[in-house]
Structure 1
């Protein structure tokens, strides 16, 4: 009988202690289990990440000027800056030609250094500049050069602008 009372007393004692630990008020250090102590003392860490940026190109059909922007955190900001720069250079009807994020962009425009057959046509034909974006400048040029050549009836196209948006380290 003494053995049963001893076992019953031991069970009652240990059961009540675990229940007591669960009812401790929040923030009481004596109630924290040992495996949670490390989590409380570790300071919070800052998250470091790369933020992609935007670029934009604006042009005006009434003049040969372009406005560009790069390294902006929003598309809207990049577009507004490009249009503002285009207007400040004399463009009257500046509008967005290209907006790009985390890429490279090029603008090609035909020049007077054309083949002899195209020189005569150049005076009567309106020239068209070509804007193109891609992962690299080389890829953008590979896509834009044939398009510019074809759109402008064989005229030689020169690079008017090229740049890439760069990511920013935040943190």
Structure 2
């Protein structure tokens, strides 16, 4: 055999097999079937992707304390627990001059409202998922008519993770 024919025979013997072109985004090297990498039978499959961690929320509390004899009041919001909210509202009421303060409203992860009827001294209180809804419920509890909303506040949960 002539050297030229030997060279052609060697090239033919070691010539690469023709590979088909895979679709964009699908690796072709070592993947003769052009299997997408997210399929379990793909040579590039690495299992399912880890899921994102679920968010973690912290509750937030609020409270309102009133001395019903004098009308002095105190309020707090965005506290980490019910007991903190109650304690802070009572302390605020006492700092404002109340001597017989009591909790009239507490809430968490919501909004609160208090409505008052000026001439009669009656009031209504409520908590709901929105300020608007809390105001509406407080006005209804007050008795409507000349009642006016005198307090609104929200204590909404806080994402901690």
In structure 2, what is the Cα distance between the partners aligned to 1:65 and 1:110?
16
Out of 124, 132, 150, the residue aligned to residue 160 of structure 1 is 150
Q: How many residue pairs end up in the alignment?
A: 111
Q: 1:47 to 1:144 in 2, by over 3 A?
A: closer
Match of 1:4 in 2: none
Match of 2:113 in 1: 106
1:48 deviates by 5.1
TM-score, with length taken from structure 2:
0.62
Instruction: Flag structure 1 segments of 5+ consecutive residues without an equivalent.
Output: 1-44, 112-121
Match of 2:56 in 1: 49
Correspondences of 1:52-131 after superposition (within 5 Å): 52-111=59-118, 122=119, 127-131=121-125
The higher relative CO (CA closer than 8 Å, separation ≥ 6) is in 1
Out of 134, 137, 147, the residue aligned to residue 141 of structure 2 is 147
3-state secondary structure, aligned to 1:79: helix
In structure 2, what is the Cα distance between the partners aligned to 1:55 and 1:165?
6
Structure richer in helix, relative to its length: 1
1:46 deviates by 8.5
In structure 2, what is the Cα distance between the partners aligned to 1:56 and 1:101?
9
In structure 2, what is the Cα distance between the partners aligned to 1:135 and 1:62?
31
3-state secondary structure, aligned to 1:90: coil
Q: Which has the larger radius of gyration?
A: 2
3-state secondary structure, aligned to 1:70: strand
User: CA offsets, 1:2-27, max 9 Å, x none?
Assistant: xxxxxxxxxxxxxxxxxxxxxxxxxx
User: CA offsets, 1:15-74, max 9 Å, x none?
Assistant: xxxxxxxxxxxxxxxxxxxxxxxxxxxxxx988512121111111111122211111111
The runs of 4+ residues in structure 1 deviating greater than 3 Å are 45-48
- Answer whether contact 2:139 2:149 (CA < 8 A) is retained: no
In structure 1, what is the Cα distance between the partners aligned to 2:81 and 2:140?
31
In structure 1, what is the Cα distance between the partners aligned to 2:81 and 2:92?
17
Instruction: Flag structure 2 segments of 5+ consecutive residues without an equivalent.
Output: 1-51
RMSD of aligned residue pairs (Cα, Å): 2.2
